[in-house]
């Protein structure tokens, strides 16, 4: 049966006309349909839920079960699950149901939740009984291992330092995110922050991979899961998972600004909040247009440090940070000139890329795009709007189709199509109208099929550009693209007949004849037509 599925997979990528294969395909259609239904289940687009034992590990790690005692009876587990479900706004069943499993697998802060619950209990007691009260003796007994609540800095002027920087993100953008994250909290309280680049600082931000000398329980777990953690005053440290796919202006990856702002909250003494929209709630939140801090975050920081001296809280909406970042990007790109250093996207950080009929590569990032000639000469960056009016910033996928000589762009749950004269009538269309998923990983035109291929998670979709309808028997598993990893960020059907897949600084060369990857490497140092290699050569010649 497995052989049968593989053959169908090859045929769908590589249509053959031989009769025997056709017969084989017919005999496999039912099986394919069955496989498609299973693979196409939306549940599989999410991370796999943890099994029962790792659910208990999770409850231990985040402070719902006592860690020292690994034998937990049903009542303890039931109570722990109820507390977790309450904090995460799930139906409080006390059972490890599928909603609870999926919540456990979602990306979050690595700091335990139990102190947050204590702080919340105190706050609620304060509302009903006046003033802050101690948690009841039962809670104290159960959680006596943890340090006192209400730890805070005993000064209002604090210094901070970025100890090291994440890969793949421009340092200037990260510096802007850090500055803005501290400003969020100083705008809402009597605190003031100052950056110091050397010497000692009260609060230090650092990026680490895996185990990093603060206990196995705090070891980072690679992409997803725990994204970062921080220590309460007065240790003043926030650690971020270096292996995470961080972003500042795109949908792909986790927004570093939001995570820094959350962890800085911990370094100031704030606990996790059960308020759904609070920045200090334990689960990862995207940067939206709304204000970043909720009333609960503001109350919490003011309880520790008081109101701003002006008496006025200045709230920062998410879009203010987004536009500050865009301004930074434009000013940085404005100073970049071809023939000097490699263009900024060569550090492996781009939103999408494609190649047009002349073999010119187009690389997209934020509100800009670069063109690269087949010989590797890169243009100055140009605003997207100049060539594709009405296209949103930070697109998620782009594909040029030689069949209709059009550009297809994807962002969120919408698809744009442009001819040389502008956006086509009726576009943007909803992805669902085309049978495509929202937020695709990447898209490319595949001449072998004469269709557009869209990758998302572990599946790929095929869009017939003539009918704008999905091809039957798709989506299918990425296993059909033997050797291509999950999570690629862009792909190009090259005039040499191969398809090149990109993920961070790596590339994979897929041979449609052999239906498998036949080569891989680092694109910025090996593929001339990315525009990164030529500048390196010029640099070497000068030396
Ligand atoms: Zn946290
Ligand atoms: Zn750490």
Cβ neighbours around 313 below 10 Å, total: 16
Tell me if 101 sits within 8 A of 55, measured CB to CB. Answer: yes
Cβ neighbours around 419 below 10 Å, total: 12
Instruction: Tell me the CA–centroid distance for residue 293 and ligand 1, in Å.
Output: 14
pLDDT value at position 11? 36
Instruction: Tell me the CA–centroid distance for residue 311 and ligand 1, in Å.
Output: 27
SS3 225: coil
Q: Give the Cα separation of 271 and 113 in Å (integer).
A: 8
Instruction: Tell me the CA–centroid distance for residue 300 and ligand 1, in Å.
Output: 14
- Residue ranges per domain, the chain? 2-39, 52-105, 117-133+147-324, 341-542
Whose atoms come closest to the Cα of 239: which ligand? 2
Measured in residues, the chain has a length of 543
pLDDT value at position 215? 84
ipTM of the complex: 0.98
Long-range contacts of the stretch 513-522 (C-beta < 8 A, 24+): 513/14, 515/10, 515/13, 515/14, 515/480, 515/482, 516/482, 516/483, 517/481, 517/482, 517/483, 517/484, 520/483
Q: 287 vs 177, 251, 318, CA distance in Å?
A: 12, 9, 6
User: Where do the H-state alpha helices sit in 241-359?
Assistant: 256-267, 295-305, 318-335
Instruction: Tell me the CA–centroid distance for residue 270 and ligand 1, in Å.
Output: 9
Tell me if 166 sits within 8 A of 207, measured CB to CB. Answer: yes
Residue for token pair 């790929």: 460
Strand-pair category, 192-195 with 203-208: unpaired
pLDDT value at position 126? 60
Whose atoms come closest to the Cα of 208: which ligand? 2
Name the nearest CA neighbour of 230 among 251, 206, 250, 253.
Answer: 206
Instruction: Tell me the CA–centroid distance for residue 196 and ligand 1, in Å.
Output: 24
For residue 517, give every residue at least 6 positions away whose Cβ sits within 8 Å of its Cβ, in sequence order, or none: 481, 482, 483, 484, 508, 509, 510, 511
Residue 339 phi, psi dihedral angles, 5° rounding? 75, 0
Q: Give the Cα separation of 257 and 241 in Å (integer).
A: 14
pLDDT value at position 398? 97
Q: Give the Cα separation of 447 and 468 in Å (integer).
A: 16
Catalytic residue flag (residue 263): yes
Q: Give the Cα separation of 227 and 173 in Å (integer).
A: 19
Burial of 213 (0-12, 13-18, 19+ CB in 10 A): exposed
Whose atoms come closest to the Cα of 220: which ligand? 2
pLDDT value at position 28? 33
Annotated binding site for Zn(2+): 109, 212, 214, 229, 239, 262, 266, 272, 280
Catalytic residue among 56, 263, 329, 396: 263
Q: Give the Cα separation of 66 and 295 in Å (integer).
A: 32
Instruction: Tell me the CA–centroid distance for residue 116 and ligand 2, in Å.
Output: 19
Encode burial over 392-401: b for 16+ CB neighbours within 10 A, e otherwise. Answer: bbbbbbbbbb
Structure tokens at 263: 């962890």
DSSP state of 370: E
Task: Please list the pLDDT of the chain residue by residue as tens digits (543 residues).
Answer: 333 333 333 334 443 333 333 333 333 333 333 333 333 222 233 344 455 668 888 998 898 988 766 788 889 899 999 999 988 899 999 999 999 999 999 999 999 887 666 666 766 666 555 444 343 433 433 333 333 456 899 999 999 999 999 977 888 889 999 999 999 999 999 999 999 999 999 999 999 999 999 888 889 988 888 999 999 998 999 999 999 889 887 767 899 999 999 999 999 999 999 898 999 999 998 888 788 999 999 999 999 999 998 888 888 888 778 777 777 776 666 666 666 677 878 866 788 999 999 999 999 987 889 999 998 888 888 888 889 998 988 889 999 999 999 999 999 899 999 998 899 999 999 999 999 999 999 999 999 999 999 999 999 999 999 999 999 999 999 999 999 999 899 999 999 999 999 988 899 999 999 999 999 999 988 999 998 886 443 333 222
pLDDT value at position 157? 96
Structure tokens at 17: 């006309």
Structure tokens at 229: 């953690």
Tell me if 440 sits within 8 A of 410, measured CB to CB. Answer: yes
Instruction: Tell me the CA–centroid distance for residue 163 and ligand 2, in Å.
Output: 13
Whose atoms come closest to the Cα of 235: which ligand? 2
pLDDT value at position 315? 84
Cβ neighbours around 288 below 10 Å, total: 14
Pick the CATH number of 117-133+147-324 from 3.40.50.720, 3.40.390.10, 1.10.1660.10, 3.30.1360.200: 3.40.390.10
CATH topology of domain 341-542: Hemopexin (2.110.10)
For residue 417, give every residue at least 6 positions away whose Cβ sits within 8 Å of its Cβ, in sequence order, or none: 406, 407, 408, 409, 423, 424, 427, 429
């Amino acid at each position: 049966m497995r052989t049968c599925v593989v053959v169908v997979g090859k045929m769908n990528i590589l249509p053959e006309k031989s009769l025997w294969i056709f017969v084989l395909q017919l005999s496999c259609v039912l099986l394919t349909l069955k496989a498609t239904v299973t693979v196409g289940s939306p549940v599989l687009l999410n991370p796999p839920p943890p099994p029962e034992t790792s659910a208990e590990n999770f409850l231990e790690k985040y402070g719902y079960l006592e860690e020292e005692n690994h034998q937990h009876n049903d009542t303890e587990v039931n109570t722990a699950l109820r507390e977790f479900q309450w904090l995460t706004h799930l139906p409080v069943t006390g059972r490890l149901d599928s909603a609870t499993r999926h919540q456990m697998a979602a990306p979050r802060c690595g700091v335990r939740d139990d102190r947050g619950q204590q702080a919340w209990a105190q706050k609620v007691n304060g509302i009903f009984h006046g003033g802050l009260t101690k948690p009841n003796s039962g809670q104290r007994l159960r959680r006596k291992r943890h340090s006192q609540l209400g730890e805070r800095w005993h000064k209002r002027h604090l210094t901070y330092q970025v100890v090291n920087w994440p890969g793949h993100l421009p340092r200037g953008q990260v510096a802007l995110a850090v500055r803005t994250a501290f400003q969020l909290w100083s705008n809402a309280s009597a605190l003031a922050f100052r950056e110091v680049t050397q010497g000692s600082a009260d609060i230090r931000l650092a990026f680490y991979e895996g185990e990093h000398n603060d206990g196995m329980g705090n070891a980072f777990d690679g992409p997803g899961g725990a994204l970062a953690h921080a220590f309460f005053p007065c240790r003043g440290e926030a650690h971020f998972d270096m292996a995470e796919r961080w972003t500042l202006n795109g949908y792909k990856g986790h927004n570093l600004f939001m995570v820094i702002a959350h962890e800085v909250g911990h370094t100031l003494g704030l606990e996790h909040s059960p308020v759904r929209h609070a920045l200090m709630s334990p689960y990862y939140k995207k940067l939206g247009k709304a204000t970043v801090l909720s009333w609960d975050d503001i109350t919490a920081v003011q309880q520790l440090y008081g109101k701003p001296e002006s008496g006025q809280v200045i709230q920062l909406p998410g879009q203010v940070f987004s536009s500050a970042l865009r301004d930074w990007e434009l000013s940085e790109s404005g100073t970049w000139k071809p023939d000097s250093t490699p263009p900024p996207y060569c550090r492996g950080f781009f939103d999408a890329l494609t190649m047009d009929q002349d073999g010119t590569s187009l690389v997209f990032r934020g509100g800009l795009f670069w063109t690269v000639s087949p010989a590797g000469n890169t243009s100055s960056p140009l605003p997207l709007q100049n060539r594709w009016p009405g296209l949103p910033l930070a697109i998620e996928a782009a594909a040029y189709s030689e069949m209709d000589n059009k550009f297809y762009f994807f962002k969120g749950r919408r698809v744009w199509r442009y001819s040389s004269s502008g956006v086509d009538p009726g576009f943007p269309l909803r992805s669902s109208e085309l049978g495509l998923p929202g937020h695709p990983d990447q898209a490319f035109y595949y001449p072998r099929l004469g269709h557009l291929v869209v990758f998302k998670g572990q599946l790929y979709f095929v869009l017939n550009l003539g009918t704008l309808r999905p091809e039957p028997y798709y989506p299918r598993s990425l296993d059909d693209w033997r050797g291509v990893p999950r999570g690629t960020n862009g792909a190009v059907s090259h005039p040499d007949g191969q398809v090149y897949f990109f993920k961070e600084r790596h590339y994979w060369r897929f041979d449609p004849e052999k239906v498998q990857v036949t080569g891989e490497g680092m694109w910025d140092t090996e593929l001339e037509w990315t525009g990164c290699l030529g500048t390196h050569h010029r640099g070497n010649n000068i030396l």
